[in-house]
Amino acid sequence: MDGSEALDLARWQFALTAAAHFLFVSLTLGLATFVTAVQTWAVLRRGSGQSAPYARMVRFWGQLYVVNYAVGIVTGIVMEFQFGLAWSGLGHYAGNVFGASLAMETVVAFFVESTFLGLWIFGWNRFGPRVHCALLWVVTGTAYLSAYWILVANGFLNHPVGHTGTGHGIELTDAGAVLTNPSALLAFGHIAGGAAVTAAFFVAGVSAYHLFRYRGTGGDGGDGGDGAALFRRSLRIAAFASPPALLVTAAFGGIQFSALASFQPMKDAVWKAEAAEIARLQADLAERFGPGDYVPSEALTRGAAMLMLLAFALMFHVSLGSALLALFRPAVERFRAWHLLLMAVVPLPYVAMTAGWVFREAGRQPWVVYGLLRTEDALSDVSAGAMRVSLAVFGTLFALLLAVNWWLLLRTARRGPEDVALGRDERAPDGEPSPGPDPVPSY
């Protein structure tokens, strides 16, 4: 009983911490892409003298990106501790195969990405525009590379390839097969699309809040370089970006659904509610691996999939309507009901992404490495009491980090572009580049 309770507590701990960290990752990837695209456009338009509004956009949305990234890094470090504490059996059994990908993710995220992000943050008015923009391209590229390495490890757990068994576990035999694992590549495309959707809905919601506020306080929404112009542009970019991002997400998700029958036939049968196929697979697995329950939780697996699809349907309708409304400037500036809707649907991508993650992970139970290592065998030798303490500590810490992150994001977003510290030129009293000669070209 103590071992069963420890296993359940360890699974809850991993689910809560991984899902919480994933919330940061999705917005970080999406916002990095958005800010990089806007800054690139600002650099390209320097010659026309129309780059200043886009530079202000970079500073405002870049500051929100930095806040989310900083707290997300903390959650990633904390998650590493709980992973090593509760799941040492997985490292002993399969660490030779996917340990290198986790190490590469650490190098990319904690060294390359963070170093170049620091240069970008403190490089305003010190580097030239092209160099400064190139720094952000490196940051964004390494962010996606970091996500890829994580999904290489996760893809192996869901569809193990390129390995051979030994007396004490498994060893890597084909690195190419692991790196090109279709379970990892399809998930990477799905996550990249979902991150873009998350950022689009976030940017649209924050922009709608400010346009709603400006209109309610008599703002004219003019083009005088004010906040209303910034958020009008941001809202239109987000509205036009969300439909294609949703289509990319759906395309990779659909391919993953079609591949389930070959990758994880039991999950596929549970998702389709095929009772006869579930019974046949259960009997086959029990004959191959010994007595046990090889059917994942139908409530979690099917429920999570249905919730993900429902959230996607809602987002798709909202995004199509938003893309049409964004064609009309009066609607962007004055359609207050639309602004309220955009603010209300900001959580939808988080719901869809979390539900999709639950479907992916819960559906492969009782395996931690599908068909090779059961979850119970991957558990560290810890007591139920120790796991209770661990779950309480990590659960409380992650709840605090989530609360702090959202408080900082909301506080920063509500202040508006006039109070942005990122990229402020301290030589000018209003935070804009000084009008005099500047040896380093500014935006």
What are the tens digits of pLDDT across the range 354-379?
A: 999 999 999 899 999 998 999 999 88
- Tens digits of residue pLDDT in 239-266: 999 999 999 999 999 999 999 989 999 9
225 pLDDT exceeds 50?
no
Q: Are 408 and 69 in contact (CB under 8 A)?
A: no
User: Three-state SS for 414?
Assistant: helix
pLDDT at 60: 93
Nearest-Å Rg of the Cα atoms of the chain is 24
Q: Residues 85-90: what's their mean pLDDT?
A: 85
Q: Residues 318-334: what's their mean pLDDT?
A: 94
Task: Give the max Cα distance, the chain.
Answer: 80
- CA contacts within 13 A on the Cβ side of 294: 25
Question: CA 397 to CA 391: how far, in whole Å?
Answer: 10
Q: Are 358 and 304 in contact (CB under 8 A)?
A: yes
Residue 240 C-alpha from the chain's centroid: 20
pLDDT at 224: 38
Question: CA 185 to CA 400: how far, in whole Å?
Answer: 33
Question: CA 130 to CA 95: how far, in whole Å?
Answer: 41
**Backbone φ and ψ of 347, nearest 5°:** -70, -15
Q: Which of 254-258, 384-388, 438-442 has the weakest average pLDDT? A: 438-442
pTM for the complete prediction?
Answer: 0.90
pLDDT at 59: 92
Q: Are 63 and 411 in contact (CB under 8 A)?
A: no
Q: Residues 262-286: what's their mean pLDDT?
A: 92
- Tens digits of residue pLDDT in 144-172: 999 999 999 999 999 999 898 887 889 98
pLDDT at 49: 55
As beta bridge partners, residue 369 has: 373
Amino acid 413 reads A
* Per-residue b or e along 249-270, where b marks 16 or more CB atoms closer than 10 Å to that residue's CB: bbebbeebbeebeebbbbbbbb
pLDDT at 326: 95
Q: Are 147 and 25 in contact (CB under 8 A)?
A: yes
- Tens digits of residue pLDDT in 116-143: 999 999 988 888 889 999 999 999 999 9
With cut-offs at 50, 70 and 90, classify the pLDDT of residue 2: low
Question: CA 115 to CA 107: how far, in whole Å?
Answer: 11
- Tens digits of residue pLDDT in 333-362: 999 999 999 999 999 999 999 999 999 999
